[in-house]
Structure 1
Amino acid sequence: MAKFTLTTSIAKAEALGCQDAPMYPDCGILGIKHVRYIMDADKKKLFPDMLIDRQQLMSKIHGREVSTFKNETIGQIIYFTSDPDNNKAMLATQFADYDLGPARRGNMIRTLGDGIFVQDNKGWEHSRAMLRPQFAREQISDLDLEENHVQNMMKAIGPVEADGWTSEIDIQTLFFRLTLDSATEFLFGESVDSQILEMPTSNSQKTGLEKAFAHNFDSAQAHMARSFRLGDMYWLHNPREYKENNKVVHEFVDYYVNLALRGNLNTDKKMEEGQKKHKYVLLEALGQQTKDPLELRGQLLNILLAGRDTTSSLLSWFFHQLLRNPEVFEKLRSTVIDTFGAYEDPQDITFANLKSCQYLQYCLNETLRIWTVVPGNGRRTNKATTLPRGGGLDGKSPIYLPPQTDVNFSSHVMHRRKDLWGPDAEEFRPERFAGRKSGWE
């Protein structure tokens, strides 16, 4: 049977003009050596750098830009690509040929539950239909909510000393608290107030569960990331700490879900434009569509993961780049003052004028290009299909993929390719986005 399947695959590949991708060297027996290499890079927090190093090694070996290759991981052949045409195929033109795969679902569902980012097919379509209306502009443009948490962050930074500076701070930590606080208020109707809880003068009445949530959510994500590196063997990583993390996270969200289902969710009203307007809370809105507590928990945790870490990472890298590029900082500062006013004479900040501030958008886009907030991702084929490019000696032929083949892809690597972005691909130059269209080109 295996021989027949292999013969059929070869015949299909030849009929489609497909050729295979090059193999990454020295993966070791069953790919164990390669797994150790990946896990070591992850432990040293060098995983994105490792992805670039692998591609550069393959390019050096083959004497050309190798953007697609395969490797062995615990006996499993996995393809890797940083080719935009292949990404387009998986995420757009051949979207129906790919799923998330059981490894990703099985790994993530332990923490996040059954939500949109662990679902395929009908489940994904159902979640998308449920969630999409909740992210209309009027729902996500409540800048008053964000302003409150920004002010809390400014208090956490501390007072300006006589020399004109504050004391030394870890701004990344403050950004992670900022996005957690604003995200939990948007999702649950009230914030965990992690920023306030860490202040020496805090007299918050928050419960122990709320205080523990941030730590356990972060720890659970770290364990989830380690499991990812094991592919289909993700279940081998399931220590006691991870189980406890998930228990605390689930209890925290369940508390708010149960309040919502009983109609006791805290949805204080606020004044807006002279009229009483009900504060928008995602949990309350979703509760009108489903009464299943596990579905509500799953969707909320999926959205929290997507909205919290990505935004805080973007903010951290954004300021990192501004500090290292003073000419960009000065230009952006001048643009912001012209558009939004100075501290002493501020003008209204709206969702619309934030989007229309071009140079600000260029700086954000350039930050996302160099420091992609999701550096790696992947899909698994659900039928026999192809990747448009990467096969053959010149890397220009399509690649045949049998059903149940994993393909990992990296925006981090793709965004630093000099053949795509020019010789200055490693440099922070926001002006490169002037006149550039977004989307597939």
Structure 2
Amino acid sequence: MAITDAIRLTPTTLAGVFGVALLLYTIYSRITLRLSRQKVMRENGCQPLVHKIPLKDPFLGIDLIMENAKAAKETRLLENGQARFHKYGRTYKSKLADNDMIITMEPENIKTVLSLKFKDYVLTNRMRLLGRLLGPGIFTSDGEAWQHSRGLLRPNFARDQLADIEAFEGHIQYMFKAIPTDGRTVDLQELFFRLTIDSATEFLFGESVHSLRMTSDKGGPDESNFTWAFTYAQDAAVKRSRWGKLGIFFSNKDEDEACRMCHEFVDRFVDKAVRYREQEDLEKGSGEKPSDKHYIFLYELAKATKDKAQLRSEMMNILLAGRDTTASLLSNMFFMIAKNPQIWERLQREVQDTLHGELPTYEQLRNMKYLKYCLNESLRIHPVVPANSRRAIRDTIIPLGGGPDGRSPLLVEKGTVVGYSPWSMHRDERWYGPDAAEYRPERWENLRPGWEYLPFNGGPRICLGQQYALTEASYTTVRICQQFSKLESRDDGPWREGLTLTMCSKNGCHVALSP
């Protein structure tokens, strides 16, 4: 037999050799990675993460998903999450679908993730969950795409137009017309969501949807359909998100239709803005004076780009924040104030002593201390975004969570999701005292929190529109104080969580107002 015949390799033999080589390489890579991580842990004083949720299903955590779904249905998802911190520690390990998770409420950990080691993390599936509605924009993008979006939007939020509060007054007057003055109950939360989408669309598009004029949220004019569709698409995205990656198996044709309606509505304004800018460019080129037009966010943005897809996505992203954050803040705050007459009385005194019946200016709003305390306390006890997360794109370290006492540094392996809970952190008695669960604006007289107070996120991705939201909420609160002498709660129960992309009162805000 020839030597060549003895060493001839068949396809089956080659496949076996390749398989063995691949297995050996995989084993070698994992051993090398483990040794490398152990070295990093020793050099940084890291300890293992001891505390974790015991799971019946260690692979996908289906039992935890079902438990969360049940808690959400019973409006106690946040309460459930806070109880886990008490049970497992302020930083613990969990799992959602195929995601390994570290859940924390430690301010130093959150500061590290959002700021100190910002580049070690990216968003967690936000584009997958919200891309259908919002598209690629400032809230759904990462890396260079996010930097580009923020660069486009930041100049517009830095303008003096954010202090132009006269535009709010017209919408406030329509809201007042919708509030009964004969002692009947009204749901302020519904009116606040209409108010904020009216003002946001006027600020962004130059034209309001005027939802406060509408008598129905669905089945009416285009503006009314948009209001319904925008809300429905958000709710559908949230329901899918609770299943993690398993959410891809849930099909919802109504969600697709709602997204289509939203896009068609916004595209009308985008087309108009691009045509306006093209016409202005022609007028400049011919030496004619450009048209004189009041400030419109979309028109200013169209100076930087005429990409209609990007303009639509950025408008959808900003509209989400412009409506939901302010409306949720106002709803949560008035729910609590209506149950505390002494807070309402003190707030009214400050408004009267400061304004003497006149409409407030931007500077007067900023200088009203008790008003600020009320807003801060609402954002503390009911943060509009009560939970969030980031995914590690490389091995990195957070300062707390390791060891039996959770006080040692902790290695966060690449691919791990770090979830953080402003809701639980804002109710931590270490920072806010034994009455941390109570709504008490007076605590802000001496309170100067750092990262333990996170109403608008932090670090490079801190909310660009926070001043806009606070200004609108302040103005609305002051005008209600001026228009009505008495505020009475018509809800005998406690505040209950209503979670969509933001958090408001599940029960609404049912009150009676007397002129």
Alignment-derived partner of residue 332 in structure 1: 347
Give me the whole-angstrom Cα distance separating, in 2, the residues matched to 1:438 and 1:73.
32
Unaligned runs of 5+ in 2: 1-25, 279-290, 453-515
Aligned twin of 1:192:
209
Question: Cα offset for 1:128?
Answer: 1.3
Query: Does 2:288 align with 1:246?
Result: no
Q: Hey, what does 1:209 align to over in structure 2?
A: 222
Q: Does 1:142 align with 2:164?
A: yes
2:323 is the alignment partner of 1:293 = no
SS at match of 1:262: helix
1:41 corresponds to which residue?
Answer: 71
**Corresponding residue SS for 1:192:** coil
- Letter of the 1:169 partner, please give it: V
Instruction: Structure 1: give runs of 5+ residues left out of the alignment.
Output: 59-65, 201-205, 266-275
Checking the alignment, whether the CA contact within 8 Å between 2:277 and 2:299 is kept in structure 1 is: no
Deviations 1:348-394 (A, max 9, x none): 41111101101100110001000000001111112111111011111
Kindly indicate whether the alpha-carbon contact (under 8 Å) linking 1:134 and 1:282 is maintained by their aligned counterparts in 2: yes
**What is the aligned partner in structure 2 of residue 100 from structure 1?**
123
Aligned to 1:114: 136
Question: In 1, Cα distance between the equivalents of 2:395 and 2:310?
Answer: 32
TM-score normalised by the chain length of structure 1: 0.88
Q: 1:263 aligns to what SS in structure 2?
A: helix
2:438 to 405, 427, 430: 427
1 CA distance for matches of 2:159 and 2:298? Answer: 17
- Cα distance in structure 1, aligned partners of 2:350 and 2:58: 57
Give the Cα separation in 1 of the matches to 2:109 and 2:246.
26
Which of 385, 394, 398 is the matching residue for 1:387? Answer: 398
Q: How does 1:236-385 map to 2 (within 5 A)?
A: 236-263=249-276, 278-341=293-356, 346-385=357-396
Compute the displacement of 1:56 (Å): 2.4
| Comparing 398-407 and 426-435, the one that deviates more | 426-435
Q: Check 1:10–1:226 CA distance in 2 against 1; reply closer, same or farther (3 A cut).
A: farther
For each residue in 1:173-230, what CA deviation from the matched residue of structure 2 results, as whole angstroms up to 9, or x when unmatched?
Answer: 1111011111111111111111101289xxxxx9732221111111111111122222
Q: Is the 8 A contact 2:112 2:398 kept in 1?
A: yes
Q: Partner letter of residue 179 of structure 1? A: T
SS of 1:118's partner is: coil
Give the corresponding residue for 1:71: 94
Q: Secondary structure at the match of 2:345?
A: helix
Asked if 1:175 corresponds to 2:192, the answer is yes
1:54 equivalent among 70, 84, 89:
84
Q: Which amino acid aligns with 1:261?
A: V
Is 1:27–1:72's contact at 8 Å kept on the other side of the alignment?
A: no
SS at match of 1:436: coil
Q: How many residues of Structure 1 are paired with residues of Structure 2 in the alignment?
A: 409
Distance 2:296 2:433 in 1: 44
Which has the higher mean CA deviation after the structures are superposed, 146-155 or 33-42?
A: 33-42
**1:382–1:336 Cα change, 3 Å:** same
1:156-175 alignment to 2 at 5 Å?
A: 156-158=178-180, 160-161=181-182, 165=183, 167-175=184-192
1:296 & 1:142 partners in 2: Cα distance?
23
Paired-residue identity, %: 39
Q: Is the 8 A contact 2:277 2:303 kept in 1?
A: no
1:17 to 35, 45, 49: 45
- Residue deviations 1:381-420 (CA, integer Å, cap 9, x gap): 1211111101111110111011121111110110011122
TM-fit CA distance, 1:277: 7.3
1:234-286 CA-partner distances (Å, limit 9, x unpaired): 42333111111111111111111111112299xxxxxxxxxx97322111111
AA partner of residue 49 (structure 1) = E
1:34-80 CA-to-partner distances (Å, cap 9, x unmatched) read: 0111122223333222221222232xxxxxxx111111222321111
Q: In the alignment, is the contact (CA less than 8 A) between 1:27 and 1:71 conserved in 2?
A: no
Q: Given the two structures, how large is their TM-score scaled by the length of structure 2?
A: 0.76
8 A Cα contact 1:17 1:397, kept in partner: yes
User: 1: CA distance between counterparts of 2:296 and 2:329?
Assistant: 24
> What is the one-letter code of the residue matched to 1:75?
D
Partner of 2:18: none
* Equivalent residue in structure 2 for 1:128, among 150, 163, 167: 150
Once residues 27 and 192 of structure 1 are traced to their aligned partners in structure 2, the CA distance between those partners, rounded to angstroms, is 49
Q: Does 1:230 align with 2:243?
A: yes
Q: 1 CA distance for matches of 2:257 and 2:238?
A: 16
